Amino acid sequence: MSSGVDEFDIIRTYFAPLEGPDPRSRGIVTAIGDDAAVLELEPGRQLVVSVDTLVSGVHFPPDLDPTDIGWRSLAVNASDLAAMGADPHWFTLALTLPENDAAWLAAFAAGLADSARYHDLCLVGGDTTRGPLTISIQVGGSVASGEALTRSGARVGDLVFVSGTLGDAAGGLQLLQGATSTDFTAEHEELVARFRRPRGRTELGAVLRGIATAAIDVSDGLLADLGHIARQSGVGAQIGVAGVPLSAALRASFPADVALELAVCGGDDYELCFTVPEAQASAAVARAAGVNCPVTCIGRIESAPGVRCMDEAGRVVGYARQGYRHFGEPGL
């Protein structure tokens, strides 16, 4: 970071504690403080790596609580490991800050630390620079060789599942943008919390290894993300919109058609969407229950390309919004 601010104080004070206890037991040989981290994997395991950048005003509102920014920026990365079925291990943090604001940094680091504990990830290095607020986190995890879940393995006849409930975070974001918090009901708060504090489904991803044929995390919206599985698997999918799981909070906060559209098109829930052969469906449900994660069958993989939404009468339902595109629409 440029003159006047001691980046080493920042790292020592706020980020070194996120290395966590007993790093050696996690294969962390050298971490924060050296020129690079030295990390070890057990033989027979493959490294799974992902990076996500959150830009203020694009990925979160600039006035979002820094504790939530800290939580969220790691959670969205942990979610990518979950979608690959990877066991989480470490992360690095490239932080660009407009100023050395102690209160902001303390809150950000606290949220990041909570998220690191929740997602079982240790900080092993990073970079600290001055500029417009940008948080770039790289996560690393591992799987036994060949066991990673990909987007490309869905087969015709597989069932399509999603975890948890959909639309909550998009509903929460809409409430944050359209109202003041003094108007919020308990249900509204629940939806806003889903946006502020998404939870990567790493435990679910891990138990789906060997069962799911394809998986993705729902970050851009169910239609867009299931569309990725379909395209990359060379298949299509049909979903019954009446079967898409909606929370009681979402139903209570929006008219039925709006709630359904938020669930089908809205992003940011970080649930997993995955496919399983029909014969494995009950095993998938049981394994998910074993990690306290509800999952719902919402449709089936077909040969015709594209994702079709059907209502209970068997009519095709069209949706205009197809997920967030960074270079297609203005940001927040």
x-marked contacts with ligand ADP along 8-37 as a string, rule CB under 6 A: ---x---x----------------xxxx--
Of residues 78 through 97, those in contact with ligand ADP by CB under 6 A are 93, 95
Nearer to ligand ADP, 95 or 301 (CB): 95
Stretch that binds Mg ion, among 8-16, 120-128, 147-155, 253-261 (CB under 5 A): 120-128
SS (H, E, C) the chain: CCCCCCHHHHHHHHHHHHHCCCHHHHCEEECECECCCEECCCCCEEEEEEEEEEEECCCECCCCCHHHHHHHHHHHHHHHHHHCCCEEEEEEEEEEECCCCHHHHHHHHHHHHHHHHHHCCEEEEEEEEECCCEEEEEEEEEEECCCCCCCCCCCCCCEEEEECCCCHHHHHHHHHHHCCHHHCCHHHHHHHHHHHCCCCCHHHHHHHCCCCCEEEECCCCHHHHHHHHHHHHCCEEEEEHHHCCCCHHHHHHCCHHHHHHHHHHCCCCCCEEEEECHHHHHHHHHHHHHCCCCEEEEEEEECCCEEEEECCCCCEECCCCCCCCCCCCCCC
The reply on whether position 39 binds ligand ADP by CB under 6 A is: no
CB of 18 to Mg ion, least distance (A): 17
Nearer to ligand ADP, 11 or 284 (CB): 11
CB of 106 to ligand ADP, least distance (A): 14
Nearer to ligand ADP, 5 or 291 (CB): 5
CB of 77 to Mg ion, least distance (A): 19
CB of 38 to ligand ADP, least distance (A): 11
The reply on whether position 70 binds ligand ADP by CB under 6 A is: no
The reply on whether position 127 binds Mg ion by CB under 5 A is: yes
Stretch that binds ligand ADP, among 121-129, 135-143, 144-152, 228-236 (CB under 6 A): 121-129
x-marked contacts with Mg ion along 69-108 as a string, rule CB under 5 A: ----------------------------------------
Question: What are the residues binding ligand ADP (CB under 6 A)?
Answer: 11, 15, 32-35, 93, 95, 123, 125-128
Question: What are the residues binding Mg ion (CB under 5 A)?
Answer: 127
